[in-house]
Amino acid sequence: MIRGIRFDSDFESADFGEIDELFRAAGLGSRDPKQYREACRQSYACVLARDGDLIVGLGRLLSDGYIASAVFDMAVHPDYQRRGIGRRIMELLHEAVPRSTHLLFAVPGVEGFYRKMGYHDCKTGMIRPSDPEKAARAGYID
């Protein structure tokens, strides 16, 4: 347990405007609140980290439930980073499908965090971004 932080999957009662602010603070850009609410509903697992009523971290998982899973939108507010919140969110997502192969896209510069969680660089990974120019500016593709 992380002092004062509660972890849950209650996205239905979440303020998605607040979640958008979290993404911006964490340097992950913006998410349309209405679209992101639906994305969470369609996800296999979602985890929120809360300090009281304030959402300070989140992550979500897409999965077939057995073979393949993908972690998306891992974010922890900068004021709450390096306290184990991101690690706990990842653990809870992994526990949702423990035998699955998990993949993710990391924001450039944070790959070390994911390596500590057991992730490896993937030699054959590829992406077809919806906005290639934006993906290139963000450092995801060459």
Could you give the CA distance from residue 33 to residue 51 in angstroms, rounded to a whole number?
21
Could you give the CA distance from residue 116 to residue 21 in angstroms, rounded to a whole number?
27
Question: 61-119, pLDDT tens digit by residue?
Answer: 999 999 999 999 999 999 999 999 999 999 999 999 999 999 998 888 888 999 999 99
- Helix 33-42 × helix 16-25 angle, to 10°: 100
Q: What is the pLDDT of residue 1?
A: 64
Q: What is the pLDDT of residue 90?
A: 96
Say yes or no to pLDDT of 59 above 80: yes
- The mean pLDDT of 117-133, rounded to a whole number, is 86
Say yes or no to pLDDT of 140 above 70: yes
- The mean pLDDT of 118-140, rounded to a whole number, is 85
Strands 68-76 vs 101-104: parallel, antiparallel or unpaired: parallel
Enter the pTM of the model: 0.88
Go through the domains of the chain in sequence order and give each one's CATH number.
Answer: 5-104 (3.40.630.30)
